[in-house]
Amino acid sequence: MNRLLHRLLPAALLLFASVSLSATVVTGRVSCEGEPLAGVSVSDGENVVLTDAQGCYTIKSKLELGYVFISVPSGYEVPSDGVLPVFFKRLSASLSKASADFSLKKVDQSKCNLIVYNDIHLVGDKKEKDLEQAHEGFFPDVLAEYEKLKDVPVYGLTVGDMTSDNKWYTHNFGLPEYLKEVSVLPFQIYHCMGNHDNDLRGGGGDFNSSKTYREVIGPNYYSINIGAYHIVFLDNIFYDQPADENGWVSAKGYHTHLDGVQLRWLRNDLKNVAPDTPILLVAHAPFSRLEGVDKGEDRFRDGFNDGYYGADVLNMFRKFGSVHLLTAHTHENYFVQINSRVLEHNNIGVSAASWKTKQYCGLNIIRDGVPGGYSVYTIDGSNLSWYYKAVGFKADECQFRGYDVNVIPEELREGAPDNTIWVNVFNYDPAWTVSLKEDGKDLDVQRAFIRDPLYRLGIDHTKLGKGAFKSMPNNHMFTARASRPDSSIEITVTDRFGKVYKQTLERPAHFGLDMFLGNK
């Protein structure tokens, strides 16, 4: 009971503070080229109202968050401040009356592309060389991909951890510096807050810890509409730790949780969304944590660890027939089919396991063996498709890696017998298929929950691999057994959209850090 009270105390204090404040009457108009836009959601972070036929709204608010924002309607864009879309207006709670107008422009969003990235962790560390790697690798890669995509509108979605909170003050590198670095990208970026985007010297408690983010980036939870999709951004990182005598909180002083105010906003937001609307739900911490693979099926647990649990949040979306979750945080890449309506993509990290992996082994690699990268999503009407893009490699040439276990050192073989073949399918989800042929005959292929040997070879023996970035079993490793050690194995991988990727694994095959791209 005491622990529960401790968790809820910041929210209770916020509620008490809201009672003591007088409300501000905020009025405004939402328009496009002077014409009113009706039915647009306007919110103060808890209450939601709709614009009337004249595009006008009135909302009474205590303005605890210091702004009102709109849920940008489908087929429209807001102005930009650098890469930031300006869908909110800052207001002072000291006023009895305030005004906030929004002027939008019309855009054809019948088809558009989303560049989704997360865990970029820019810190300005000369030893880690994160900025050097980002500007030599990630940014040029995204710019090149953008050139292929820009025939239709392109938007960026980042799923949190733009920075590293414990480096804000030691490296003088925080959210403003991050925005300066990403200003090289030529499209609007909608942001989702991660745990490392909180201010550890903000004064303690969730409201204070997220204040700097709200001041620099904007709302830490909100919704927009792009094409047919209603996109909800949640802040499911909840700092419940008070500050110490020096004004600091620990970088680990949080839980995966939504407080009551955000939940009330979410309920109010979803009331105005039709049940046949497809949903993208963006949140930094995953709703599902993988625990294993049993007979080809994923075993997972709820990713929320206190307060309102992930299943309860998802229950708020039960009226919608299609819900895609975009999450991050784990520095892994996996999909989980939570139920027939809900598919979660725990997205790849740009910094891979850490920017440091490259200085340890020469590879920008994640602890499930996937090269660091990002994802591209395409909205085409109500259809949603996507692909994984490894930084520095063509998408068609970097979707899986095949291993001849015979040449892998014994300590990295996970007990696999001779003549075993492993295939790490980087962006696998339950709709993909994987087949292996030896001498034209199909091998029996099973999905296994094991570790990637290349990451283990490069990182596990290092200081980095003995800490937070130790290799982890993943759910996109496939195993089969050949009949002899010198046969060629034809590997065919087909994604859920019918795209086919192939590799011939000539055996005995090479194993080493220089085989980073096994199917190029």
Q: Per residue in 265-277, pLDDT tens?
A: 999 999 999 999 9
Domain range holding 507? 400-515
> Which CATH number does the domain housing residue 424 bear?
2.60.40
Alpha-carbon distance of 404 to 421, in angstroms, equals 5
Last residue in a domain, options 340, 374, 392: 392
State both tokens at 502.
Answer: 């192939």
Query: Residue 95 is inside which H or E element, if any?
Result: none
What pTM was estimated for this model as a whole?
0.93
C-alpha distances in angstroms, 333 versus 5, 40, 83, 286, 400?
35, 35, 26, 11, 12
C-alpha distances in angstroms, 266 versus 26, 46, 282, 315?
20, 8, 13, 12
Task: Please check whether residues 351 and 469 belong to one and the same domain.
Answer: no
Task: Please check whether residues 507 and 369 belong to one and the same domain.
Answer: no
Segment 337-353, tens digit of pLDDT? 999 999 999 999 999 99
Task: Please check whether residues 284 and 247 belong to one and the same domain.
Answer: yes
Helix (H, G, I), strand (E, B) or coil at 379: strand
520: in domain: no
Asked whether the predicted pLDDT for residue 392 surpasses 60, the reply is: yes
Segment 408-419, tens digit of pLDDT? 999 999 999 999
517 band by pLDDT with thresholds 50, 70 and 90: low
Task: Give exposure, 298-329, as e/b (b: 16+ Cβ within 10 Å).
Answer: bebebbbeebbbbeebbebbeebebbbbbbbb
* Exposure on the CB side of residue 18, measured as CA atoms within 13 A: 18
278: in domain: yes
234: in domain: yes
Segment 353-376, tens digit of pLDDT? 999 999 999 999 999 999 999 999
Alpha-carbon distance of 489 to 440, in angstroms, equals 9
Helix (H, G, I), strand (E, B) or coil at 449: strand
Last residue in a domain, options 335, 358, 392: 392
344: in domain: yes
Beta-strand relationship, 279-283 and 229-234: parallel
Last residue in a domain, options 105, 136, 153: 105
> Comparing C-alpha atoms, which of 88, 264, 286 is closest to residue 191?
88
134: in domain: yes
Task: Please check whether residues 54 and 145 belong to one and the same domain.
Answer: no
The pLDDT score that the predictor gives to residue 5 is 37
Beta strands in 334-442 (DSSP E): 334-337, 342-346, 373-380, 383-390, 400-404, 420-425, 433-438, 441-442
Task: Please check whether residues 249 and 343 belong to one and the same domain.
Answer: yes
347: in domain: yes
Task: Please check whether residues 316 and 436 belong to one and the same domain.
Answer: no
> Comparing C-alpha atoms, which of 284, 274, 283 is closest to residue 229?
274
- Percentage of residues of the chain with pLDDT beyond 90: 84
State both tokens at 368.
Answer: 């499930």
Asked whether the predicted pLDDT for residue 449 surpasses 90, the reply is: yes
306 band by pLDDT with thresholds 50, 70 and 90: low
Do residues 449 and 292 make contact, with C-beta atoms less than 8 angstroms apart?
yes
Question: Residue 126 carries which DSSP code?
Answer: T
The pLDDT score that the predictor gives to residue 20 is 42
Task: Give exposure, 374-395, as e/b (b: 16+ Cβ within 10 Å).
Answer: bbbbbbeeeebebebbbbbbeb
Asked whether the predicted pLDDT for residue 384 surpasses 60, the reply is: yes
In DSSP terms, 328 is beta-bridged to none
Q: What angle do CA 450, 451, 456 make, to 5 degrees?
A: 160
Alpha-carbon distance of 335 to 312, in angstroms, equals 20
What does the pLDDT average to over 417-426? 98
72: in domain: yes
CA 307, distance to chain mean position in Å, is 22
State both tokens at 72.
Answer: 């940008």
Task: Please check whether residues 7 and 90 belong to one and the same domain.
Answer: yes
Task: Please check whether residues 360 and 477 belong to one and the same domain.
Answer: no
Task: Please check whether residues 410 and 282 belong to one and the same domain.
Answer: no
**For all residues of the chain together, what is the average pLDDT?**
92
21 band by pLDDT with thresholds 50, 70 and 90: low
Task: Please check whether residues 217 and 73 belong to one and the same domain.
Answer: no
Number of domains in the chain: 3
> Comparing C-alpha atoms, which of 356, 367, 357, 363 is closest to residue 391?
363
C-alpha distances in angstroms, 231 versus 169, 234, 257, 312, 343?
33, 10, 19, 19, 15
> Comparing C-alpha atoms, which of 188, 195, 197 is closest to residue 215?
197
Task: Please check whether residues 85 and 218 belong to one and the same domain.
Answer: no
Task: Give exposure, 246-285, as e/b (b: 16+ Cβ within 10 Å).
Answer: eebbeeebbbbbbbebbbebbeebbeebeeebbbbbbbbb
The pLDDT score that the predictor gives to residue 307 is 53
Task: Please check whether residues 277 and 182 belong to one and the same domain.
Answer: yes
